Amino acid sequence: MNEEHKRKISLANKGKKRSNEFKILISKLKKGKPSPRKGVKLTEETKRKIGLANKGNKYNLGKHHSIEAKQKMSISRKGKRTLDKHPLWQENPTYNAVHQWLSKYKGKSKDSKCIDCGRTAQNWSNKDHKYKRNLEDYEPRCIKCHRQYDVKKFGFNLLRDDKGRFIKN
C-alpha cells in the first residue's frame, strides 16, 4: 500500500460512525494481538514527556470514595484478607506493591540479618527475579551480598538503588 492509498483510506474513514457490534467485533479480533504501536520507536523527546507525565503516582489523586462506597468495599472484602487474596494481589505485581506486601508479612529487610554474611540486611532479594508472591522466594541480604548474589546468578552486575530495585540505564 503506498502513502497516497493510505491517505485516501484514512480520509474516507474519518468521522465514520461505527456501530457497537462492529466495535465489539474489532475488539474481539484484536484481543491478544500485539498493539500496532508495538515496536514503534519513541523519540527521546516523547520518552521524556511520558516520563514527566508519569512522575508521582496520580492514580486516584484528589478522588474520594463516598462513605457508602467505602462501606460497600469494606463489606465485600470482609473475610477475604488471606495471604493469597490480599487486596494488593495482582498476577504481575509491581515492585512497590510486592515490597509493601513483603514488609507486612516478613517485616522490613533491615530487621533481618543478611543470610550470607550475617550483617543487617538492606534488601529482600528475590530468588527467581519474577517477583512472585511467594514469601519463600525472598531472602534478606545486605547490598554487598545482594550484588554478589546477582553476579553469581546472572554472570554480570546489575545496578540497583538502595531499595534493591533495578536501575535501568
**CA 83, CA 27: separation in Å to the nearest integer?**
35
Output the smallest distance, CB 114 to Zn ion, in A.
Answer: 3
Output the smallest distance, CB 95 to Zn ion, in A.
Answer: 21
Q: What is the DSSP string of 2-57?
A: -HHHHHHHHHHHTTPPPPHHHHHHHHHHHTTSPPTTTTPPPPHHHHHHHHHHHSS-
CB 119 within 8 A of CB 110: no
Q: Is 109 in the site for Zn ion (CB under 5 A)?
A: no
Output the smallest distance, CB 119 to Zn ion, in A.
Answer: 5
> Residue 123's beta-bridge partner residues?
141
Size of the site for Zn ion (CB under 5 A): 5
Output the smallest distance, CB 143 to Zn ion, in A.
Answer: 8
Residue 119 or 165 with smaller CB distance to Zn ion? 119
* Chain position carrying cell 522490613: 108
**CA 21, CA 16: separation in Å to the nearest integer?**
14
Q: Is 114 in the site for Zn ion (CB under 5 A)?
A: yes
Figure out which of the listed residues 9, 26, 117, 159 binds Zn ion, where binding follows CB under 5 A. 117
In the window 140-159, what residues touch Zn ion (CB under 5 A)?
Answer: 142, 145
Footprint of Zn ion (CB under 5 A): 114, 116-117, 142, 145
